[in-house]
């Protein structure tokens, strides 16, 4: 898994006389090309030779600014803290800002954001640009897993799954892209899942939403390449979260079809292979956050970052014949 490395500090120079000629040559070059330094702000400015307009290049004088969705827990919270530690201007969002009060105390700007609300989406992006003078990076992290066999998932619940996991990132991306094009650069990082590569029983709704997100992200990456906007997918395997509690919330016992008892048993026991209760194959939220930070900082990030051993398995398992994958599930059923 790719991890973010700490930025190197520039070495201090104690040479003075030897650098004088180079400094003079650099000053002459800046004067000839129209580039100067404001003596009061020490901000580099450039003068357009045709219009005479002078503009400040603030890329080296301001903090980079990131907007992160779904920061109330887990990956989102860890990601906000990781960007803060790297000295970014962090705009952390959640449906209820009371849930991210500690992030505000840590130094984040916090905003209320429900990714299914178009007005809140537009406001969050505009506020981010106001706060940071730009939106350098958008992290679409907000999401949840609607689990259970598809027969037990209502059409309304399926629509809600896609509204959050697919339409939400789409709304934010559309709002952010005009600003990134105007800036001449930007990063969009979509948090997917290993089930965005390979679907498993009991996760059809969630896997469907993540497959859709991956397909859209692949298209987007090619569409915006000419604008120097990088688009990356993060594909975690199981992460230490409250998976079992969430399963009970999404599909209570009294709404489960008894015929799928074995499948529900498998879902309830999934933490044994690392579904979020400290299993041996579970990643920690900080592991995913490190991959997100790397994707935001690396000059040419890869298209995908699998995180954790199960995610690495998923990269290869999708190439297995369907019959073999189905047979593997049948074997697990017999062992339960």
Phi then psi for 233, rounded to 5 degrees? -105, 135
pTM reported for the whole predicted model: 0.78
Q: Give a yes or no: residue 238 inside a domain.
A: yes
- Give 81-111 pLDDT, tens digit per residue: 999 999 999 999 999 999 999 999 999 999 9
Distances (CA, A) of 313 to 146, 160, 161, 238, 264: 22, 29, 25, 12, 23
Query: Given this model, what pLDDT does residue 283 score?
Result: 83
Q: Give a yes or no: residue 308 inside a domain.
A: yes
Q: Where residue 316 falls among pLDDT bands split at 50, 70, 90?
A: low
Range of the domain at 127: 65-335
Instruction: Give the single-character DSSP code of 239.
Output: B
Catalytic site residue from 60, 167, 206, 316: 206
* Residue of higher predicted confidence among 57 and 183: 183
Per cent of the chain over pLDDT 70 is 69
In whole angstroms, what separates CA 19 from the centre of its chain? 43
Number of helices and strands in the chain (H, E): 12, 10
Total domains in the chain come to: 1
Q: Give a yes or no: residue 172 inside a domain.
A: yes
- Section 280-284 average pLDDT: 77
- Give 126-159 pLDDT, tens digit per residue: 999 999 999 999 999 999 999 899 999 999 999 9
Q: Give a yes or no: residue 19 inside a domain.
A: no
Q: Give a yes or no: residue 30 inside a domain.
A: no
| 206 catalytic residue (yes or no) | yes
- Give 17-57 pLDDT, tens digit per residue: 444 444 444 444 444 444 444 444 444 444 444 334 334 45
The CATH number of whichever domain residue 193 belongs to comes to: 3.40.50.720
Q: Give a yes or no: residue 328 inside a domain.
A: yes
Q: Give a yes or no: residue 303 inside a domain.
A: yes
Q: Give a yes or no: residue 56 inside a domain.
A: no
């Amino acid at each position: 898994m790719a991890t973010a490395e700490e930025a190197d500090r520039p070495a201090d120079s104690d040479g003075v006389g030897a650098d004088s000629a180079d400094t003079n040559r650099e000053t002459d070059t800046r004067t000839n090309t129209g580039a100067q330094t404001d003596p009061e702000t020490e901000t580099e400015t450039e003068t357009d030779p045709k219009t005479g307009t002078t503009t400040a290049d603030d890329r080296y004088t301001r903090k980079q600014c990131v907007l992160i969705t779904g920061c109330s827990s887990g990956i989102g919270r860890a990601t906000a803290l990781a960007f803060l530690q790297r000295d970014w201007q962090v705009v952390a969002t959640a449906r209820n800002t009371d849930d991210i009060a500690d992030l505000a105390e840590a130094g984040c700007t916090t905003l209320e954001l429900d990714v299914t609300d178009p007005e809140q989406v537009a406001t969050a992006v505009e506020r981010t640009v106001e706060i940071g003078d730009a939106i350098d990076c958008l992290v679409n992290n907000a999401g949840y897993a609607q689990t259970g066999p598809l027969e037990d998932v209502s059409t309304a619940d399926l629509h809600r799954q896609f509204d959050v996991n697919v339409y939400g990132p789409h709304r934010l991306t559309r709002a952010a892209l005009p600003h990134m094009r105007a800036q001449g650069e930007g990063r969009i990082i979509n948090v997917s899942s290993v089930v965005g590569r390979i679907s498993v029983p009991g996760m059809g709704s969630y896997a469907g939403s993540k497959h859709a997100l991956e397909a859209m992200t692949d298209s987007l990456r090619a569409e915006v390449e000419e604008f120097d906007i990088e688009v990356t997918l993060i594909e975690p395997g199981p992460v230490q979260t409250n998976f079992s509690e969430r399963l009970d919330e999404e599909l209570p016992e009294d709404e489960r079809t008894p015929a799928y008892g074995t499948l529900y048993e498998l879902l309830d026991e999934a933490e044994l292979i690392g579904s979020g209760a400290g299993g041996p194959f579970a990643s920690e939220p900080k592991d995913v956050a490190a991959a997100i930070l790397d994707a935001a900082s690396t000059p040419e990030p890869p298209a995908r970052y699998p995180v954790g051993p199960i995610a690495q398995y998923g990269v290869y398992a999708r190439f297995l014949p369907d019959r073999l994958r189905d047979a593997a599930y049948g074997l697990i059923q017999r062992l339960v």
